[in-house]
Amino acid sequence: MAKIKISSLTYTYPEKEEPALKDIDLEIKEGEFVLLIGENGSGKSSLLRAIAGIIPDFYRGDYKGEVYIDNLKVRKMKPKEKAGKIGFLGQDPESQIFMTKVEKELVFGMENILLPLPVMRRRVAETAAFLNLGEYIHESVDKLSGGMKQRLALAAVMAMQPEVLLLDEPTSQLDPASAEEIFNILKRLNEENGITVVLAEQRLERCLHLADRIIVMDEGKISYISSDKNEWGAWMAENKAFLLPPLLKLFSRLPFEKIPFTVKEGRSLIADLPIKCVFLKEMGIRGKNACSPVLEMDKVWFTYSGGREVLKNISLKVFPGEFWAVFGENGAGKTTLLKNIAGLLKPQRGRICIKGENIQFMKASEIARKAGYLPQNPDDYLFLPTVEEEILFSLENTENKEEKTSQLIEKFNLEPYAAVNPRDLSMGERQKTALASILALNPDLLLLDEPTRGLDYLAKEDLGKCLKMLCRESKSILMVSHDIEFAAEYADKVLIMFEGEIAAAGSKYEIMNNALFYSPQINRLLSGRVDRVVTLEEGDKVIRAFLEDKEEKKFSGG
């Protein structure tokens, strides 16, 4: 018997003409781990909401068809009944916590479904132990990190002991370590507790191997569904290559029978290939150090008013056209570094010069003309009713502002959205709108704080191309990121921060090569065979060379 059954489901949000879900028929077995894949706006979240009963109960709209859990119509179930069977976890940890204390958050859902006190006590003890929350149980939720908050939200859902767990990109706001932790917990819950998991996710490199079945969604429809792992890669490569993580993308281009899901599988596929010396041009090294730097930081120290020393003796030079990626664990001082350069924080010691000018006594608005700062959440930057007005606002008091605005809108392919409210756009388009508004001031340096957060692979590729184009125009970029794959593909240099200090800085080929944590999939695939390979193109060249060598040896009988 199917745990979840969806029959002929079509749903349209209120005041929308196009249905978000179109004629969905689906059955999910008990204990299955299903992965929902698709671009932003393909209908993944709507499908999860329909299974959870949020659609149509919460949103209303036009609903046809039916969703069943254990043969019970979800629409007919009361919220308390649904909550006891279905657990739902969304993207933003802040939006999923309602109480001020960890323990109270854990019991919130249980109190709602009227569980008796002894049951609640037992479940709090069990859940806290299972998800390692015991030491934080009496803490205020404000003291938890983003990853911990998401773990708490998951714990609060699990305390209700749902039979089905629905997760809508639960790791999109988290750093890689916290994301890994969430996936490990999901794996345990599915394998050891038999909970049915339906996960919508963009970071396929971390979860594809966990799935029993994948469902690919496209414009509100299910375009592919399969539980045959050998088929997935080939279908995706042919139809949705842009959604694939670098490892799968690489193998989809190469003449291999199977597409691996993990680096381990990939390494075993190329294990028999002969090692050939391949000379690669390292794209990141441009020899521009002869010019004067755009940014020069000299022994910069910064301490917050509470006494926490966050930047310690930072010295750094960024030259025109360079693209730096800044890595480091949460709290390492990455965002504080950007804020010091943007003038939002002032260092207590040391000197920061942009284009040779000391910025110590300059206002943030003056510095913005030299160094544009894009925060983690582009919504913090955007507050006007249209995309066009956002860019015009940046150009206030300048000549030809209408013309310049049109040029920027065209440059970032924002023409269809010029009159649209930025908050109605996808995350990628919002990111580009904020970037265009910053670039309106024509700064030489761009300071980007986790610009790929919440973007799908297509939007990331689009952003990466935009940034490379800016580098070619001699703009320099300093990007804080947890996205190792994105940095490996597009950045030139890498800086690793640890406890407020620069732990390593240099070419991405030096820093990412054979790194334990900060190496991309392609590098890990070829680790021990060929050094300094980090991008997809480089990986492609190297493996093709291996394959050619193998063919040559086969024909020559070697």
Partner 1 sequence: MFYQKKDNLIYSLHPAVMIFLVFSFLVLALVFSNPLHLSALFLASGFIIISSGNWTGFKVYLRYSFFMLFIIVFINLWFSKSGTAIFMSFNLGNFSVKFTLEALFYGFTMGIRLLTVISSFALWTFTVDPDRLVDLWARVGRRSAVMLNLSMRIFPLILHDFKRIAEIQQCRGLDYREGGFVDKIRKVGMLSGAVLASSLERSLNMAEVMYTRGYDGGERSFYYRDLWRRRDYIILAAAVSGLFLSGFFLTEGLGRYEFYPLLNPLCWQDFLSSLTIFIIFSIPAFLAEGEKIWLKSKSAV
List residues near partner 1 by CB under 8 A.
49, 52-54, 57-58, 78-80, 82-84, 86-88, 90, 92, 94-101, 103-104, 107-117, 120-121, 124, 141-142, 156-157, 160, 339, 342-344, 363-365, 367-368, 372-373, 375, 379-383, 393-394, 396, 423, 437
In sequence order, what are the residues at sequence separation of 6 or more whose Cβ sits closer than 8 angstroms to the Cβ of residue 106? 124, 127, 128, 133, 137, 152, 155, 156, 159
- Least Å distance, CB 84 to partner 1, is 7
CA distance 536 to 517: 18
Name residue 291's beta-bridge partners.
Answer: none
Compute CA distances 288 → 265, 291, 317, 353, 378, whole Å. Answer: 40, 6, 12, 18, 31
CA distance 359 to 364: 9
- Least Å distance, CB 392 to partner 1, is 12
Nearer to partner 1, 57 or 549 (CB): 57
- Least Å distance, CB 351 to partner 1, is 21
Nearer to partner 1, 145 or 262 (CB): 145
CA distance 175 to 481: 9
CA distance 241 to 237: 4
The angle at the Cα of 340, spanning 334 to 346, to the nearest 5 degrees, equals 140
**Positive or negative: CA dihedral 127, 131, 133, 134:** positive
Nearer to partner 1, 367 or 497 (CB): 367
- Least Å distance, CB 241 to partner 1, is 32
CA distance 404 to 398: 10
Phi, psi of 93 (to 5 degrees): -60, -35
* Lookup result for tokens 């916290």: 178
- Least Å distance, CB 366 to partner 1, is 9
- Least Å distance, CB 263 to partner 1, is 35
- Least Å distance, CB 350 to partner 1, is 21
CA distance 175 to 408: 32
CA nearest to 7, candidates 68, 93, 97: 68
- Least Å distance, CB 386 to partner 1, is 14
Phi, psi of 353 (to 5 degrees): -120, 135
Nearer to partner 1, 104 or 544 (CB): 104
3-state secondary structure of 521: helix
Nearer to partner 1, 48 or 463 (CB): 48
- Least Å distance, CB 329 to partner 1, is 21
Phi, psi of 294 (to 5 degrees): -75, -40
**CA quadruple 455, 456, 459, 464: dihedral, nearest 10:** 80
CA distance 16 to 41: 14
- Least Å distance, CB 118 to partner 1, is 11
Helices 387-394 & 401-411, crossing angle to 10 degrees? 130
Nearer to partner 1, 87 or 260 (CB): 87
